[in-house]
């Protein structure tokens, strides 16, 4: 088809060339009836015209031929590029699916049977009041906090963004692949959770799980005072004297009855919920208490001063970290700016409502 089109153009310009030749020949014949001196002059002029016309026609034909040839080459190259991108996309999707399924299994999702419990505490801190009845549906929660190597898999696929690399951050820190990822903001934490088919826990889900399905206890292990026997914390120095996080699930004595590790200590864990000054008007089910639909973070571009005064820009995190001591209780609910990744003491835990065909641990 392409060769046929080029031939048409070539024939067209040959015809132009012939017409120019015939025109000039006619002029030459006409001038024979003029004076001899004029005939010589006319012949010379017509020869020049014929030569110029011929050259123009040939140059145009050649230019069009090569332009069309280059356009067709570029078109073919573009089709080849699109095909390579399509094949690369298919290959990436296959890889992403494999890695994601492997990740879901690595998270060791534990089944948490639903029920009801009294959330908060009537004589606790102001933001823990009033104590209120909450109904919780069945859900699955990752046994461990998300580790550095797990988050890195998401980053390598181009789905998760790079965490902060400041002092105290575990990202790309040698020998901390099995430590919890920290220095991630709320949005980064949620992207990872969504990637593995889940989300961040609501406050209700988190507290229900941390209190071993809503029991009247202060810590995941019971009521005994928090110490390095149960958690990576400040006792008496940060990180039980290591001044950093530990390998996840290092303190199995502190596990909940369902087998959840580090629900107190190591790193705090982002929840979906906005900050609220107390529990007045809180949901009576396990849904997150957010000011925007789907708990979206729409305040990340505001100034620090706005973030400090706008409660919807702040998110609750739970559980205590390697620098914590007195605030390790399961009911404690501090908050920080959702947009900041400067916190080396906050990480990620994932929940899912249901599972596909993946391994799961039951209590």
Torsion region of 81: left, alpha or beta (phi above 0 gives left; psi -120 to 50 gives alpha): alpha
Is pLDDT at 152 greater than 90 in this prediction? yes
Output the pLDDT for position 16. 66
- Cis preceding-peptide flag for 267 (omega within 30 of 0): no
Output the pLDDT for position 39. 54
Question: What does the mean pLDDT of the chain come to?
Answer: 84
Is pLDDT at 53 greater than 80 in this prediction? no
Between 222 and 62, the higher pLDDT residue: 222
pLDDT, average across residues 114-131: 93
- Tally Cβ neighbours within 10 Å of residue 153: 19
* pLDDT level of residue 34 (50, 70, 90 thresholds): low
* pLDDT level of residue 334 (50, 70, 90 thresholds): very high
Between 363 and 263, the higher pLDDT residue: 263
Is pLDDT at 305 greater than 50 in this prediction? no
The pLDDT tens digits of the residues spanning 66-120 come to 777 778 888 888 888 898 888 888 988 999 999 999 999 999 999 999 999 999 9
Give the chain's end-to-end CA distance (angstroms, integer): 69
Between 306 and 288, the higher pLDDT residue: 288
Residue 226 has φ and ψ, to the nearest 5°, of -60, 140
Output the pLDDT for position 10. 64
* Residue 337 in tokens: 């700016």
Q: What are the start-end ranges of the E strands in the chain? A: 109-112, 115-119, 132-136, 139-142, 268-274, 314-318, 335-337, 346-347, 351-352, 361-362
- Domains assigned to the chain: 2-96 (no CATH), 107-362 (3.90.1580.10)
CA distances from 178 to 135, 150, 152, 157 (A): 34, 9, 11, 19
- Tally Cβ neighbours within 10 Å of residue 252: 11
Q: Cα(271)–Cα(141) distance, rounded to whole angstroms?
A: 13
Q: Cα(161)–Cα(331) distance, rounded to whole angstroms?
A: 31
pLDDT, average across residues 210-232: 96
217 close to 284: Cβ distance less than 8 angstroms: no
* pLDDT level of residue 194 (50, 70, 90 thresholds): very high
H or E, element range at 104: helix 36-106
In the chain, the percentage of residues whose pLDDT exceeds 90 is 58
pLDDT, average across residues 323-348: 91
Residue that is written with structure tokens 């639909």 in the block: 293
pLDDT, average across residues 230-247: 94
Between 116 and 63, the higher pLDDT residue: 116
Least confident stretch, 48-52, 86-90, 314-318, 331-335: 48-52
* pLDDT level of residue 3 (50, 70, 90 thresholds): low
- Tally Cβ neighbours within 10 Å of residue 74: 10
The pLDDT tens digits of the residues spanning 339-350 come to 889 999 999 999
pLDDT, average across residues 264-281: 95
Q: Strands 115-119 and 132-136, how do they pair?
A: antiparallel
Is pLDDT at 304 greater than 60 in this prediction? no
DSSP 312-340: GGEEEEES--TT-STT--TT---EEETT-
* pLDDT level of residue 5 (50, 70, 90 thresholds): low
68 close to 5: Cβ distance less than 8 angstroms: yes
């Amino acid at each position: 088809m392409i060769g046929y089109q080029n031939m048409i153009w070539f024939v067209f310009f040959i015809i132009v060339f012939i017409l120019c030749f015939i025109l000039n020949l006619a002029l030459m014949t006409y001038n024979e009836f003029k004076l001899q001196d004029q005939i010589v002059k006319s012949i010379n002029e017509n020869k020049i015209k014929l030569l110029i016309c011929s050259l123009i026609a040939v140059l145009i034909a050649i230019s069009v031929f090569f332009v069309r040839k280059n356009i067709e080459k570029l078109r073919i190259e573009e089709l080849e590029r699109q095909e390579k991108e399509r094949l690369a996309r298919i290959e990436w999707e296959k890889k992403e699916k494999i890695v994601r399924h492997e990740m879901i299994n690595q998270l060791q999702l534990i089944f948490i049977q639903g029920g009801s419990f009294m959330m908060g505490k009537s004589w606790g801190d102001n933001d823990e009041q009033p104590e209120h009845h909450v109904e919780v549906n069945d859900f699955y929660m990752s046994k461990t906090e998300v580790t550095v190597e797990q988050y890195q898999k998401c980053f390598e696929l181009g789905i998760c963004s790079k965490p902060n690399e400041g002092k105290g951050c575990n990202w790309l820190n040698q020998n901390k692949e099995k430590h919890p990822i920290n220095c991630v903001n709320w949005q980064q934490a949620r992207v990872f959770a969504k990637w593995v088919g889940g989300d961040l826990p609501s406050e209700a889900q988190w507290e229900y799980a941390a209190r071993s399905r809503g029991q009247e206890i202060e810590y995941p292990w019971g009521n005994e005072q928090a110490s390095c026997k149960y958690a990576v914390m400040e006792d008496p120095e940060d990180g039980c004297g290591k001044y950093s996080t530990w390998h996840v699930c290092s303190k199995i004595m502190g596990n909940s009855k369902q087998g959840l590790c580090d629900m107190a200590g190591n790193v705090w864990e982002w929840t979906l919920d906005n900050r609220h000054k107390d529990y007045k008007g809180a949901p009576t089910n396990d849904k997150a208490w957010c000011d925007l639909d789907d708990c979206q973070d729409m305040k990340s571009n505001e100034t620090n001063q706005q973030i400090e005064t706008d409660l919807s820009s702040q998110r609750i995190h739970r559980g205590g970290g390697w620098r914590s001591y007195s605030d390790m209780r399961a009911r404690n609910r501090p908050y920080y700016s959702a947009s900041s990744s400067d916190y080396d003491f906050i990480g990620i835990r994932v929940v899912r409502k249901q599972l596909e065909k993946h391994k799961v641990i039951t209590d």
